Amino acid sequence: MVYFIYIAIFIFIFWWYNTRKFNYWTTRGIKHEKPVLFLGTYGNMYIQKQNRSQIVEELYWKYPNEKVVGAFKSTTPELIIRDPDLIKDILIFHFPSFYSRGFNHSNDVEILRKHLIAIDGDLWRMLRQRMTPAFTSGKLKAMFPLIVERCEKLQASTLTAVARNNTLDARELMSRYTMEVIGACGFGIDTNTLNDGNAAFLQLGKNILNMTPTKAIFLLLKDMFPYFEKRFNSFLEIESQFLSLVNHIIKERNYKPCGRNDFIDLMLEYLNKPMEAESMEKVGDGKNPVKVKMIMDVNLFAAQVFIFFSAGFETSASSTSYTLHLLAINPDVQKKVQYDIDLVLRKYNGTLSYESIQEMTYLEWAYKEALRIFPSAGYLMRRSTNIFRFKDINLEIDERVNIIIPIQALHMDPKYWENPEEFRPERFHPDNFGATQKNVYFPFGEGPRNCIGSRLGLMQSMAGLAAILSMFTVEPAPETVRHPKIDPKSNIIQSIIGGLPLIFRERKKSVN
């Protein structure tokens, strides 16, 4: 009898723990989705029926007259922000109250999760200050010859493939190109992924973001029991492989820069050296701010290289391949892009260069328009770091409430974009891209925690697209789907089910 009483008490405590916050939005008068035990609002995400961005987008459209919508990620309250002014407040003006990305519940996590995108507070500030110089115009320009070499390999590889079969999977092609760039610019390695679809580097990149059922279970456990998140490490095998790779490379370079101007070279300048910043977490006396210090050790170094590798791979591969897809089904736009590329390349004797890429204005508009229609990240997340009151809507939230910015929905809202389904690069002409659009366009985030590598991502993506479109015209293949389905397992970076098959035809360049 006592045994059953203990079981009943355990079940009650477990039920109470998982439902204790389910009246959070009701008591605050915020419209919200009714949460489900253990799963909160995101049941379909945990069973891999929808990704998180899709669920957030549904809630955005379900409550069209609300400035905010309530939700729950397992037991954690979330607030989906629909109002552009509130978004600006969160990302920029009230950044000290929302500096946390919300990926980790503390900075005491697995090695590879201690990277710039996921960690918070003082450690984030020190790393951001230390890594920002790696992405200056001068450093990017020095990297560009490495990108040009990969563009030439992309052209040669595509030409060989087209000779066998002019239908290619643009997603796979641009994945291989992106991995070649990351191997060269990040690691000083020739990954040979353009010639070998089974290359180890390419498979590693795909495995990192592949959401398996085991990873989904670990994700749920982390959300249910956030203070035990370090125990639910679903990346042990990848962590071992990656740490081994990084240690091998830095030993080869004798723990110091070797003159390659790649990311590891730039980061080696700081290895085992102290980082220092003004604390975000500790308050001084008002006159003397608190200073914090930390050493950039090998593990912290490896985590930054890891995010350069994983985030750079999937985002650029996704955005460039979808740009090609949209150009294939909009041939008139493609002709304008090719004219722009040809005109600039003629000025630079037919060669890609850092300067020539900067002048391909219409190509850049087309790429940004593709990112509007299909942003690599379908949402942004922040977490409140203290009790905060939204005065405009008379709402007070507690510390550690998740804030969701629904990028995909904002990018496709006709309130801000005329005929949002239409692929129209001219939206990004300075005369058309006004304050209204700037306030809802976030492909690289916004505010102090925007994407530090956005300029590198834009540069390598523009170069890859210019290399392809200067030599080939892309057309829909018989199996091309005009509106490809989003993979419901792609919770961090959105990806497509079934790839993006296109016909590649070699072209003769001309400028009229």
pLDDT tens digit sequence for 397-456: 999 999 999 999 999 999 999 999 999 999 999 999 999 999 999 999 999 999 988 999
What ranges do the domains of the chain cover? 2-506
* Residue 185 labelled as part of a binding site: no
Q: Is pLDDT larger for residue 148 or for residue 195?
A: 148
Question: Average of pLDDT values for 23-44?
Answer: 92
CATH topology of domain 2-506: Cytochrome p450 (1.10.630)
pLDDT tens digit sequence for 220-252: 666 666 665 555 555 666 777 788 888 888 888
Contacts of residue 290, defined as CB under 8 A and 6 or more positions apart, other chains included, come to 278, 279, 282, 283, 284
Q: Burial of 132 by CB count in 10 Å (0-12 exposed, 13-18 middle, 19+ buried)?
A: exposed
Distances (CA, A) of 16 to 9, 12, 49: 10, 6, 27
The predicted structure's pLDDT at residue 261 = 75
Say whether 404 sits in a helix, a strand or coil. Answer: strand
Tokens of residue 508, six digits? 């003769």
Q: Is the pLDDT of residue 475 over 90?
A: yes
The 8-class DSSP code of residue 297 comes to -
Band of pLDDT at residue 361, cut at 50, 70 and 90: very high
Q: What are phi and psi of 8, to 5 degrees?
A: -65, -40
Question: Average of pLDDT values for 143-166?
Answer: 91
Question: Average of pLDDT values for 77-96?
Answer: 96
The predicted structure's pLDDT at residue 207 = 64
pLDDT tens digit sequence for 374-385: 999 999 999 999
Contacts of residue 324, defined as CB under 8 A and 6 or more positions apart, other chains included, come to 170, 174, 465, 468, 474, 500, 502
Q: Is the pLDDT of residue 200 over 80?
A: no
Tokens of residue 86, six digits? 């509130």
Q: Is the pLDDT of residue 208 over 70?
A: no
Q: Is 79 in contact with 68 (CB distance < 8 Å)?
A: yes
Neighbours of 288 (CB within 10 A): 7
**Mean of per-residue pLDDT scores for the chain:** 88
Verdict on whether the full-model pTM lies above 0.85: yes
**CA 38/CA 72 separation, integer angstroms:** 10
Band of pLDDT at residue 352, cut at 50, 70 and 90: very high
